[in-house]
Amino acid sequence: MSRYFTEDHEWVDVDGEIGTVGISDYAQGQLGDIVFVDVPEDGKQLTKGDEAAVVESVKAASDVYSPVSGTVIEGNSALGDDPSLVNSDAEAEGWFYKITLTDTAELDELMDESAYESFVAKL
Amino acid sequence: MRYLPLTPADRHEMLGVIGAASIDDLFVDVPDAARLDGPIHGLPMHASEMAVERHMTALARQNMTAGDGPFFLGCGAYKHHVPASVDHLIQRGEFLTAYTPYQPEIAQGTLQMLFEFQTQVARMLGTDVANASMYDGSTACWEAIGMARRITRRGKAILSSGLHPHYVSVARTMAKYTGDALVTATPTLTADTDIDTLIAQIDDDTSCVVVQYPDILGRIADLTPLADACHAKKALLIAVVTEPVAMGAIRSPGEMDADIVVGEGQSIGVGLQFGGPYVGLMGCKDKYIRQMPGRFCGETVDADGRRGFVLTLSTREQHIRREKATSNICTNSGLCALAFSIHMTLLGEAGLRRLAAINHAGACRAADRLSRIPGVRLVNDLFFNEFTIDLGKEARPIVRALADKGILAGVSLGRLYPAADALATGLVVAVTETTSEADVEALATALQEELA
């Protein structure tokens, strides 16, 4: 399994054709206490760059853009009861949705973990 | 200081850019005959203040106001008694604003009043939550349809034939721009509502069913089977209450599992005032609060642990979420909501129930009396304070004739549905605590003469 990042601070873990999407630990730190997450429903078709989810903190409401194209197979329902999971565990338990990728070549345009680390270091 | 935004040189330059020689060139599309070339034709020139006052008073005297005689008009706007204390209190300087607070937290009194208002509305409509009010019942109704679209991600709303036609036309205007499909129908002069028809129409594309309770003819139906049918298809039930006093006598829509309940609050504390300003009521189930439009006031504690109020969940609103907001409404009907809240506070639950009982009893007496007139048929014998009678002949000219005798007999269905011949004989009669037995007798006598 490999992990990719976008410049908008989303991450996607890819296992075969299934991707799991969330926002980075850096992003959750910038947002502050997260109070609400709106995740996409099963079956929603997304094109890379589409608004896929909304994350709302005490500071701001932000859109989450899909790092890859595909069909959503599951939204993380745990975030409905406990949106603070995104704060406590952004890159694991705080995932937003799982998606079936339509084009794995899109991953080539994303950053790997070390590239993202140097990207964030420059911000 | 005078405000002069543009100099003649500015204007000249701007006209040059767009290729016009003069400002008049911008109006060439307006036909000559429609352009004003001097004083408005037929309008007298200025007169003294006293002369104008005398003239206007004479004009106003030609009006027949609601209090001038027997009055039975309803259909969404009701003549109820507004205690003098309501007007006195809303005019206190601490309260007097028509508008929503924009620097809200410094106005704790205003916020507390809105919080009380929300609590009253939620309890009255039977919903978990209510917002700080909308413009009026019809816009609240449309906002509920938009809200159902966002929640269900479906675009077809089924509107009951018993929904006020003005509410339908507001929805139609808005749907033109959002692309929502509206299924509409015209009511029939029968005692039964269209609940069964609505249930049969719900499909997998339906976002919501919108039903008025009591409906435009005054009929009342148990909404529970309709709510169940909506939920079975994952659609929402929206209930519309145009006469909130009814909630003092009949089960609230929320108790019958409606998902969103909206209403017109004019009946409580707000006078008829020529059709507005009124106050929209809106409540919903807790789980839908994020998709609700309008302002919310929430209760909290300050740094010292003292009770305080804030505007909350503002990220739904336009000033934060821009085009992704739940609505372009991020205001409320502050002054009318205050009047509603003060009247509700004066009434209390016991007072509201007593007021509702008086309304219903008066309507029952009126229905009995009117249906004894030869040629008059009572359409619905299940109603709150408003019922429909079938006069057997066109109601509109009869209403006109009675108005000439100083009696406002009710709303003729021909006026609300000019294209529906089958409804032309229908007359909707509203009775409130302001209606005396002498008023009913005057109506009955005059109506009998007209029909003879």
Task: Give the closest of A36, A61, A63 to B320, CB-based.
Answer: A61
For the cut 70, the answer to whether the pLDDT of residue B232 exceeds it is yes
Q: Do B290 and A41 touch (CB under 8 A)?
A: no
Specify the pLDDT at position B98: 59
Q: Give pTM, 2 decimals.
A: 0.86
Beta bridge pairs of residue B70:
none
- Measured between alpha carbons, how far is B228 from B108 in angstroms, rounded to an integer? 41
Instruction: Read off the pLDDT band of B386 (50, 70, 90).
Output: very high
The whole-number average pLDDT for the span B5-17 is 91
| B84-343 topology per CATH | Aspartate Aminotransferase; domain 2 (3.40.640)
Does residue B1 have a pLDDT over 60? Answer: no
Contact A56 B321 (CB under 8 A): no
Select the more confidently predicted residue: B332 or A81: A81
pLDDT, residue B65, reads 87
Q: Give pLDDT tens digits for B84-104.
A: 999 999 998 878 765 666 677
Per-residue model confidence (pLDDT) at position B2: 65
The pLDDT value given to residue B330 = 67
* CATH number given to A2-103: 2.40.50.100
**pLDDT beyond 80 at B3:** no
Whether residue B320 lies within 8 A of chain A, CB to CB, comes out as yes
**Which chain B residues contact residue A38 at CB under 8 A?**
290
Once rounded to an integer, what is the mean pLDDT over residues B370-397? 97
- Strand B156-159 to strand B206-212: parallel, antiparallel, or no bridges (unpaired)? parallel
Angle of CA points B215, B216, B217, to nearest 5°: 90
Give which of B315, B319, B320, B322 to mutate to test A binding, by max A Cβ within 10 Å.
B315
Mean pLDDT throughout B192-213? Answer: 97
Element (H, E) at A38: strand A34-38
- Residue B48, pLDDT > 80, answer yes
Enumerate the residues of chain A whose CB falls inside 8 A of the CB of residue B321.
61
Q: Which residues of chain A have pLDDT under 70?
A: 1
pLDDT of residue B20: 93
Query: Percent of chain B having pLDDT more than 70?
Result: 98
Q: Do B153 and A41 touch (CB under 8 A)?
A: yes
- Give the residue from chain B lying closest to A80, CA to CA: B287
Does B321 contact A at CB distance below 8 Å?
yes
The Cα of A61 is separated from the nearest Cα of chain B by a number of Å equal to 6
**pLDDT score for A14:** 94
Q: How far does A34 lie from chain B, in Å, by closest CA?
A: 13
**Nearest residue in A to B153, CA atom:** A41
ipTM rounded to 2 decimals? 0.71
Q: Across chain B, what does the average pLDDT equal?
A: 93
Is the Cβ pair A61, B153 closer than 8 Å? no
What residues have CB less than 8 Å from A22, skipping those under 6 apart? A10, A11, A86, A90, A91, A94, A95, A96
Q: What is the pLDDT of residue B451?
A: 95
Q: Which of B153, B290, B320 faces A36 most closely, judged by CB atoms?
A: B290
**For residue B290, which residues of chain A lie inside 8 Å, CB to CB?**
36, 38
B234: contact with A, CB 8 A cutoff: no
pLDDT at residue number B97: 66
Question: What mean pLDDT is predicted for residues B337-349?
Answer: 96
Q: What is the pLDDT of residue B312?
A: 86
For the domain made up of B67-80+349-451, the CATH class stated in words is alpha beta
Is the Cβ pair A61, B290 closer than 8 Å? no
Residue spans per domain, chain B: 67-80+349-451, 84-343
Mean pLDDT of the B14-34 span: 91
CA dist., res. B276 & res. B262, Å (int)? 17
